[in-house]
Copies of this chain bind each other. A is one copy, B any other.
Amino acid sequence: MSLDMLDPQVRDGINLGGLEQSLGFLLRVSQLKVFDHFFEKLGHIGLKPGEYSVLWVISHNPGIRQGQLAQSLAIKNAHMTKLIRSFEVYGFIERRIPEEDRRSVELSLTEQGEAFVARHKPDFFGYIQSLDSPLDEGETRELIRLLAKFSGISRESVQ
């Protein structure tokens, strides 16, 4: 047991003054840890988790409107426009303007896009397993449950 373990606010000789208990700070640091691990393991694929998730959701909701997609992933419309265009150019996504509402855009995957999603599903949903986490399995499940509830993703948030 080292000395600085006696002082809850000191880390690596730096006094964070209670920042260690701040939800915002902890979320940021945790996300960085996950992201760093992702890049180490899967950086070579060339898609980041957020980009894969765009393909993933289109795959599960063929014909989804671009705005709905953006909203469901909390990506801004302006940014989504760029993502969709580059996927279209790359040949993973098809855009269709429906006659019923010609303002909107309906998205679906090309055969190539579907193949990519299927091939890399184990990567994007499995990399987290290879992260050597200080949490045991039960704690990890609880963390996920609490985050889902907090963020309003979970049904638990419904009365």
Contact = CB atoms under 8 A, between A and B. Distances in A.
Contact of A23 (B22, B34, B74, B153): B34
B153 A20 contact: yes
Given A146-B139, A151-B30, A24 B15 contact: no
Interface stretch (A5-13, A77-85, A86-94, A102-110): A5-13
A93 B106 CA distance: 51
Contact of A34 (B2, B5, B11, B24): B24
A129 B53 CA distance: 32
A64 B59 CA distance: 50
A142 interface: yes
Given A17-B60, A22-B125, A38-B24, A72 B135 contact: no
A114 B142 CA distance: 39
A16 to B, nearest CB: 6
A78 B42 CA distance: 25
A45 interface: no
Q: Is the interface of A mostly helix, strand, loop or mixed?
A: helix
Given A25-B53, A35-B24, A150 B30 contact: yes
A150 B69 CA distance: 30
A2 B2 CA distance: 53
Interface string A148-159: 111111111110
